[in-house]
């Protein structure tokens, strides 16, 4: 076989051929892996939704993507809402919050954080049930959540007030995203229904 001359045209042709073959190989591998990757992502999301709703399983009935970037997953067990706040101490903070039909917090999961390990990153467990900043069970239809320093009743993460505020903004935004949906009602609406029920019983 005759050896190719080391000319600019020959080298360009060889490099082009290599690029085409490599590109084709990458596209083929991407096609093979895209399906399994999507399945893993879907399972991770499904597991996260069940976790924040405190349910063994949940059927996602509808998904709404809102203009503010929030994503609402309406299920047979309540609503799971993904919200993001760009102003945590380390940057963006993304949280998945589970709410029942009356606007009470069932659970949450931090999906993305750039916070310092040991400080702001504590948001992953600081606000969970049994922890110092516990928000589980609190009803967002009555009052929005604030740290004590801002007049609220939630203990901020030690030395991480900025992250704590960003986290609570995510949780409050989750309720705002589904108010009027998923059978979520404000405290005033629920109280009115209760009063109406009492009046009917007296008639």
Q: What is the pLDDT of residues 140-169, one digit of tens each?
A: 988 899 999 999 999 999 989 999 999 999
10-residue mean pLDDT series, the chain (203 residues): 62 77 72 71 82 89 86 92 89 92 93 72 92 95 92 93 94 90 53 44 43
What pLDDT score does 143 carry? Answer: 86
Quote the distance between the C-alpha of residue 47 and its chain's center: 12
Quote the distance between the C-alpha of residue 173 and its chain's center: 11
- Distance (Å, rounded) from C-alpha 50 to C-alpha 77? 9
- As separate numbers, helices (DSSP H) first and strands (DSSP E) second, the chain gives 4, 5
Under DSSP, is residue 128 helix (H, G, I), strand (E, B) or coil?
Answer: coil
Q: Name the CA dihedral angle for 122, 128, 130, 132, rounded to a multiple of 10 degrees.
A: 50
pTM (2 d.p.): 0.71
Phi-psi map region of 54: left, alpha, beta (phi>0 left; psi -120 to 50 alpha): left
């Amino acid at each position: 076989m005759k050896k190719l001359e080391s000319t600019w045209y020959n080298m360009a042709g060889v490099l082009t051929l290599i690029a085409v073959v490599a590109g084709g190989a990458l596209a083929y591998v991407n096609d093979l892996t895209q399906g399994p990757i999507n399945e893993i992502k879907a399972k991770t999301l499904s597991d996260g939704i069940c976790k924040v709703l405190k349910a063994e399983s949940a059927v996602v009935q509808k998904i709404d993507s809102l203009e503010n970037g929030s994503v609402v997953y309406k299920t047979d067990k309540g609503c799971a809402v993904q919200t993001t706040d760009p102003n945590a101490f380390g940057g963006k903070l993304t949280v998945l919050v589970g709410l029942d039909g009356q606007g009470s917090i069932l659970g949450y999961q931090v999906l993305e954080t750039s916070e310092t390990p040991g400080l702001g990153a504590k948001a992953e467990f600081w606000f969970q049930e049994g922890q110092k900043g516990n928000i589980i069970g609190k009803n967002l239809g009555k009052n929005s959540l604030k740290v004590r320093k801002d007049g609220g009743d939630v203990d901020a993460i030690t030395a991480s007030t900025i992250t704590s505020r960003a986290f609570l903004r995510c949780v409050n935004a989750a309720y705002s995203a589904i108010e009027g949906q998923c059978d979520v009602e404000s405290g005033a609406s629920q109280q009115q229904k209760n009063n109406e029920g009492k009046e009917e019983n007296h008639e």
